[in-house]
Amino acid sequence: MQFSSWLDMRRISAMCPKFPILWPNSHINRHGFLDATLFVVLMQILVTLGVCFFYDTLNPDQVYVSTEEKEQYAQLFLITSLLVAPWLENILMLLIAEIHELNFQRKGLFIVTPLIFALLHVIPSTLFPANMSMRFVTSYIGFYIFLKQYDLHKLEIGRPKALMLSSFIHFISNLTGYTTAFIYLLLFDAESIFSA
């Protein structure tokens, strides 16, 4: 099959972006670590803003009544999801990935393991309600990135450091979501106070 000079396959393949995109010669960005972290942060910001905006838009008359029990639960949930969940979930994810790799080699590894954890994250939450399909997709993408970053770094820097690196991305993702929701709620409360 002949291609014209303007549709040469070598030129088309040269136009594809090379990864890592950001700081390609940086040692810290080997295997696209900064690219993956930036992508997860931007995804969390957009999803959290969307969830907050549409939840407020669809439920304008709903008022949150704060009680001491709800505040204690929210504080415990916040602390555990920032300090315990990234490390514990990544350890469990890697354990499932290792079991999968022992039984089925690497076939379907990056599909099955993130799928299991995405399904576990689609639990209705009264504290932070969200569209379940959107939560499933974003959780799947996040856990795929966590597992892929671990897999790319484990031979180069060792398994414990690769686990810490993957868990750090998970921590940054959770922190970004909570920070975005907190800033949105501060702005929303300030807007409702000044409009009254």
pLDDT in tens, 55-110: 767 666 766 667 788 788 888 888 888 889 889 999 998 898 888 888 888 888 88
Give 1's pLDDT tier (boundaries 50, 70, 90): very low
Round to whole Å and give the CA distance between 176 and 37.
11
With beta carbons less than 8 A apart as the criterion, state whether 185 and 51 touch. Answer: no
Round to whole Å and give the CA distance between 178 and 41.
11
Round to whole Å and give the CA distance between 41 and 142.
10
pLDDT in tens, 15-53: 455 555 666 666 667 777 888 888 899 999 998 888 888
DSSP 23-36: STT-STTGGGHHHH
For residue 182, the model assigns a pLDDT of: 87
pLDDT in tens, 133-166: 788 888 899 999 998 888 888 888 888 898 898 9
Domains of the chain: which residue ranges? Answer: 32-195
| Span 105-126, average pLDDT | 81
Cis before residue 20, ω within 30 degrees of 0? yes
Share of the chain above pLDDT 90, in %: 12
